Structure 1
Amino acid sequence: MKLSGIFLGIIGVILFSTKAVMVKLAYQYNVTSMHLLLFRMLFSLPFYLGILFYLIKIEKKKLNVKTKDYLWLLFFGFIGYYLASYFDFLGLQYINASLERIILFVYPTLVLLINKLFLKKEITKRQIGAIALTYFGVIIAFGNRNQVVEYDAILGGALVFLSALTYASYIVGSGWLIPKFGVVMFTSFAMVVSTICVCIHYLISDGSSFTIYPTEVYYLGFAMAIIATLIPSFLVSYAIELIGASNFSILGSIGPFSTIILAVIFLEEEINVNQIIGVIIVVLGIRIVTKKG
């Protein structure tokens, strides 16, 4: 793996980890998940549109893509940042940021499974063992929970798992679409598509005023747009281009640790022994996947 790709991937993963903490901070102001997702996408939209229009103007003649490539781009934009984000924001209403990151971290194993099912890429015995170990770690992290909140934990965990599944699909798709569009254009297209989907969802299912919140909510929305969305989205796309989708997925092992640290500092979350053991087991599972020989 190229060191530059690894470095960009690590920074991107850490910045993405700040998102869960910002979401939990915003929920303290009774903001809805749809409004919060809308803020995140709308604040970042002007930047993506500006970049996209510039690239189209200077690179239109250089593009060698077909209609089906654009259709795939629409599909992966829909699932990658719209569905994945929506499921994640809903899940964070029921579970804490640390547990969310542990569950979301299983997406590298889902990348392997999707590659096997749809791209016919082989999974080694070591990878199968790593997948089993990873999910065992998630189960451990869920252990020793109060029965009163058990239903919320299961519901929130299921929603975040759906987020992991849709994001893994996006990672796989971006691996072969990025060379066709270029990393920056692909990311910008995907984010614009996702923003349009969020706006349509908002108009159909909600439509209520989003100007009723304290100023802090909009600051958090803007921070999510820039720090936890705009910058890491390009870093991750560049990393995928340099080291590949499967290799990048391994770098996600940093995510749970960075989120736990941030959650303890900014949310004063209490981390239990099960979560610590669980995240160590999960990360160990991914480490086995990366081990050569």
Structure 2
Amino acid sequence: MLLAALAAAALGAEGIAAKLAYAGGANILTTLSLRFLLAAVMFWVSIVIFPVQWRLDRPTLVRLVALALGGQATTVLLLFYAFQHIPAAVAILFFYIYPAVVILLAALFLHEPLTRAKVGALALTFIGLLIILGFPMGSLDIRGIAAALLAALGNGVYLIGQNNLLKRLEPRTFNTWATTAIAPAFFLMALTSGNFSLAFNNQALLAILILALICTVLAYTAVAWGLRYIGASRLAIISTLEPAITTVLGFLVLGERLHPYQLLGGVLILVGVTWQQIRS
């Protein structure tokens, strides 16, 4: 549970660091390219210093690369596409349907029990998300809604596939190959679209380093080990802490407004997470 909460906290800093990178002159594809390149280098260095079995047979490698590109990389792109067409808070709200996707897929494919505790906790945490992020108001672009929902589905599939592969792979091995597959994919997209540029300031550089070290290496490591200990469905419920953490960090770092009702939403998420843990 602590590892899952640590992953949520690390990923909660993602939106803040991304905003700082963009404000410093870095564009989206350049930021993603450098983020995953630096993360891949850090994972390979860790394997050199603390050796593990990193060689994979061809079927496993193909499956891992397909999961990384079709799951994680596609999820990130869909979510950023959603941000372009609907408000970020609304996109995140639709995206966080993915814990429900994970719970259903885990029950179907991983034989994780679908308990009342999980369903109740999921309901509480989603109500908390509604309070923190606000109810969608006005007309919304269907393209943004579709992209956010597809991102939720992609992230759910990625977590289930990752959980399955981690039964046979050491977490660092999985994350090393996953980031190694994702980095060149984003580089190729940036280069072919003419969006790769190193014309950014030190603030953007620091933000990209935070994205690589905290939001990728630390977060992905905590997610992988968390999956091993508590399974996909329970980890997905605990991950709903992430928007609450992002809201608090936005207040502390960027000076964004923090309304009292958002604190209530955070409390509901904490209650839901704690309740499902105690019942489990």
**TM-score, structure 1 as length reference:** 0.77
Cα deviations across residues 165-206 of structure 1 (Å, max 9, x unaligned)? 3222221112121121211111111111111221232233x1
Return closer, same or farther for 1:262/1:285 CA change in 2, 3 Å cut-off. same
Return closer, same or farther for 1:66/1:235 CA change in 2, 3 Å cut-off. same
> What is the letter of the counterpart of residue 216 of structure 1?
Q
- In the alignment, the residues of structure 2 paired with residue 165 and residue 282 of structure 1 have an alpha-carbon distance, to the nearest angstrom, of 21
Unaligned runs of at least 5 residues, structure 2: none
For residues 1-293 of structure 1, the aligned pairs below 5 Å read 6-29=1-24, 31-51=26-46, 59=53, 67-93=58-84, 94-96=86-88, 102-119=93-110, 123-124=114-115, 127-128=118-119, 131=122, 143=134, 147=138, 150-151=139-140, 158-204=146-192, 206-271=193-258, 289-290=276-277, 292=279
Cα deviations across residues 118-159 of structure 1 (Å, max 9, x unaligned)? 446553455456556655665566656664xx536x765654
Identity %: 21
Unaligned runs of at least 5 residues, structure 1: 1-5
- In the alignment, the residues of structure 2 paired with residue 83 and residue 208 of structure 1 have an alpha-carbon distance, to the nearest angstrom, of 18
Superposition deviation, residue 116 in structure 1: 3.6
SS in structure 1 opposite 2:168? Answer: helix
> What is the letter of the counterpart of residue 157 of structure 2?
S
SS in structure 1 opposite 2:216? Answer: helix
> What is the letter of the counterpart of residue 183 of structure 2?
T
Instruction: Name the stretch that deviates more: 277-286 or 250-259.
Output: 277-286
- In the alignment, the residues of structure 2 paired with residue 210 and residue 22 of structure 1 have an alpha-carbon distance, to the nearest angstrom, of 18
> What is the letter of the counterpart of residue 241 of structure 1?
R
Instruction: Name the stretch that deviates more: 263-272 or 115-124.
Output: 115-124
- In the alignment, the residues of structure 1 paired with residue 255 and residue 58 of structure 2 have an alpha-carbon distance, to the nearest angstrom, of 49
Instruction: Name the stretch that deviates more: 132-141 or 161-170.
Output: 132-141
Superposition deviation, residue 92 in structure 1: 4.3
